Structure 1
Amino acid sequence: MERKYGQHGYMDDDRDREREKPRQKPKGGPRGSKAKEGPRAMKMPGFQEVLRCALCGAIVPPPVEIVYDSRCPKCKADLRSCRNCRHFDTAARFECTQSIPERITKKDLRNNCKFFTARVSIERETRDSGGSGASGGSSPTTKPSDARSAFDNLFKK
């Protein structure tokens, strides 16, 4: 049957049957895989479990045992509160994913909820900036005046 139009999609049934050939799979593994010998270089930093204050965002020191009167070391907010709980969800009924009998109105004040579990997040470990001075030899405690003078020194003749 002669085709009136040459566009893709017009009477493609006949064309597909003529051109249909079984494809051969390429030899080897997936594209781009190279056999590497030995361990890979460490490009990914480690991870750590961190408890942050829901009010100020400060990291609570590692022995994270939250008791009834635990407080944030920075802002002194109560840590045993709904906002620091793993089950706190503003979209859930009574703003808690557990089945609590009544709503706790003050979410940032301490309470004695039996479902309380500290909200721990996993964050990437980062190093302190300016460790060895390899990025330019400047000290990690530079003052704005030092930075300004360094900038001015770039354009002096």
Structure 2
Amino acid sequence: MATSLHCFNCNKELTFPGNVGRRDECPHCRSDVHVCKNCEHYDVKVYNECRETQADVVREKDRANFCDYFTPRKGANSAEDKKAALRAAAEALFKKK
């Protein structure tokens, strides 16, 4: 079963023939792929920036790690998309006529 996700660094779509390995790298920017910032559980608003309560503390969120709870994030960098959408909505709301 193929695994696909978007790189946290360059936002390009990546596809792997199986699970993402700890040593896998993005072929476009050479960033590690098995990192917190590419994980479904990554959330900057919660304790330890991880929604998985049993995961070990990882200090470097953009470096390869051994987390057993890693789940590839689906879709593009959602934080950037939300930020752009909120900005557009605010500009539309306060737009001078």
Q: TM-score range by the shorter chain?
A: 0.5 to 0.7
Q: Which has the higher contact order (CA 8 A, sep 6+)?
A: 2
| Contact 2:35-2:64 within 8 A present in 1 as well | yes
Q: Which secondary structure state, in structure 2, belongs to the residue aligned with residue 61 of structure 1? A: strand
Instruction: Considering fraction of residues, name the structure with more helix.
Output: 2
Q: Which position in structure 2 is the counterpart of 1:107?
A: 61
Q: Which secondary structure state, in structure 2, belongs to the residue aligned with residue 88 of structure 1? A: coil
Aligned length: 74
Name the CA shift for 1:69/1:52 in 2 (closer, same or farther; >3 Å): same
CA positional deviation for 1:104: 1.1
| TM-score normalized by the length of structure 2 | 0.67
Q: Which position in structure 2 is the counterpart of 1:53?
A: 7
Point out the structure with max Rg over C-alpha: 1
Question: 2:70 pairs with 116, 139, 142, which one?
Answer: 116
CA positional deviation for 1:59: 1.0
Amino acid at match of 1:118: P
Q: Which position in structure 2 is the counterpart of 1:65?
A: 19
Amino acid at match of 2:66: N
Q: Which position in structure 1 is the counterpart of 2:28?
A: 74
| Contact 2:55-2:69 within 8 A present in 1 as well | no
Q: Which secondary structure state, in structure 2, belongs to the residue aligned with residue 94 of structure 1? A: helix
Residue ranges of structure 2 left out of the alignment (5+ in a row):
77-97
Q: Which position in structure 2 is the counterpart of 1:96?
A: 50
Task: Tell me the distance in 2 between the aligned counterparts of 1:61 and 1:50.
Answer: 4
Runs of 4+ in structure 1 displaced over 4 angstroms? none
Task: Tell me the distance in 1 between the aligned counterparts of 2:71 and 2:36.
Answer: 9
Alpha-carbon displacement from aligned partner over 1:58-80 (angstroms, at most 9, x marks no partner): 11135353011111010010000
